[in-house]
Amino acid sequence: MIGVLALCAVISILVTVGIVVALMVPSLEFFTEVSPAEFFTTAKWAPLFKPAAFGVLPLITGTLNTTFWACTICLPLGLGTAIYLSEYARPRARAVIKPVLEVLAGIPTVVLGYFALTFLTPLLRSLGWQVEIFNAFSAGIIIGVLLLPTVASLSEDAMKAVPSSLREGSFGLGANRFQVSTRVVVPAAISGIAASFVLAISRAIGETTIVLIAAGQLAHVSFMPGDSVETMTAFIAATGAGDVPVGSISYKTIFAVGLTLFVITLLLNIVAIRMVRRFREVYE
């Protein structure tokens, strides 16, 4: 029995190692043909054209652009929802909000992508904001909506785990509910809340379908919300689904961009874990 369980653990390790190797090998071949200096420092991305250009910065800024707008939605609204659910909501309100959040989390991303493209973008235009048909803002906002339940649910779990004796202690000193929530419960739950934020940011960076449908494929450096941008994930998905020949330099760019994406997410996780260790308030 122990053997079977150990095998389960080993399989997950093997899969992880396998993915890293599968990313590394074509990426290393790519970097023998294109210098890392060109890849990471130049701002022209045209790997499928002649003459080809391999500056990944437009894809990175495109990802940052959509991720930023996703964060403006999912982090504050997610934390606010979590505080409400954990500290304020009566059972009747919870009975409505929790299932709605679960439904939201279960909507397929392709549906959300078309919602961004065919509802949100026209809405923004009808409000007088001349965004492009494909734009970073609509895609980012809808990614934020997608991730809101993740942040709300994980943050709520972290806050629920804070012992009620701490709440009673602060109520007993004359604190009101908002002060108890923000000065005692949130600080005590900060490691779990930060973990939910990091997971959300990682998933916003890695989200593919919504940006592929709604953010466009125009690889240029832009931080304007109304501009069409291409993200790293959208490039990988569009190019992988296209007709690039296996083994060509265009094919290998997919892996180089994938590796870049992987490293960015990994670094983000490491930094976040360190920050949480430093700032968290450990109860018991």
Partner 1 sequence: MDAPPTTTGTQPRGLQPETMAGASNESIELPMDQREVVFDCRELGVRYAGVRALRDVDLNIHRNTVTALIGPSGCGKSTFLRCLNRMNDLIPSAVVDGACLYHDEDLYGPQIDAIEVRKRIGMVFQKPNPFPKSIYDNVAFGPRVLGMKDGLDDRIEQALRRAALWDEVKDRLRQGALGLSGGQQQRLCIARALAVEPDVILMDEPCSALDPISTAAIEDLMTDLKSEYTVVIVTHNMQQAARVADMTAFFSVDQGETGTRCGVLIEVDSTEKIFTKPSNERTEAYVTGRFG
Burial of 62 per CB tally in 10 Å (0-12, 13-18, 19+): buried
| Overall residue count recorded for the chain in this entry | 284
Asked if 163 is part of the footprint of partner 1 (rule: CB under 8 A), the reply reads yes
277 binds partner 1 (CB under 8 A): no
Question: Do residues 264 and 205 touch, judged by C-beta distance below 8 A?
Answer: yes
Binding-site residue total for partner 1 (CB under 8 A)? 23
Q: Indicate whether 281 belongs to the interface with partner 1 (CB under 8 A).
A: yes
**Helix, strand, or coil (residue 53):** strand
Least CB distance from residue 283 to partner 1, whole Å? Answer: 4
**Residue 231 identity (one-letter amino acid):** T
Nearer to partner 1, 40 or 178 (CB): 178
Q: Are the C-beta atoms of residues 127 and 146 closer than 8 Å to each other?
A: no
The backbone torsions φ and ψ at residue 137, rounded to the nearest 5 degrees and listed phi first, read: -65, -55
User: Binding marks (x or -) toward partner 1, 182..221, rule CB under 8 A?
Assistant: -xx--xx---------------------------------
Contacts of partner 1 in 64-93 (CB under 8 A): 90
Task: Select 119 or 279, whichever has its Cβ closest to partner 1.
Answer: 279
Q: Please select the residue that binds partner 1; options are 72, 179, 208, 269, rule is CB under 8 A.
A: 179
Closest CA to 87 of 186, 221, 229: 186
Binding residue (CB under 8 A) for partner 1 from 52, 104, 175, 199: 175
Q: Is the dihedral of CA 167, 168, 171, 176 positive or negative?
A: positive
Per CB under 8 A, which of residues 40..59 are in contact with partner 1?
Answer: none
d(CA 128, CA 63): 26
- With binding defined as CB under 8 A, does residue 102 bind partner 1? no
Closest CB to partner 1 among 243 and 284?
284
Instruction: Choose the binding region for partner 1 from 1-9, 94-102, 171-179, 251-259 (rule: CB under 8 A).
Output: 171-179
Query: Angle of helix 136-160 relative to helix 57-83, nearest 10 degrees?
Result: 40
Residue with tokens 């279960």: 106
Residue 89 CB, nearest approach to partner 1 (Å) = 11
Q: Which amino acid is at 221?
A: V
Interface residues with partner 1 (CB under 8 A) are 90, 163, 165-176, 179, 183-184, 187-188, 281-284
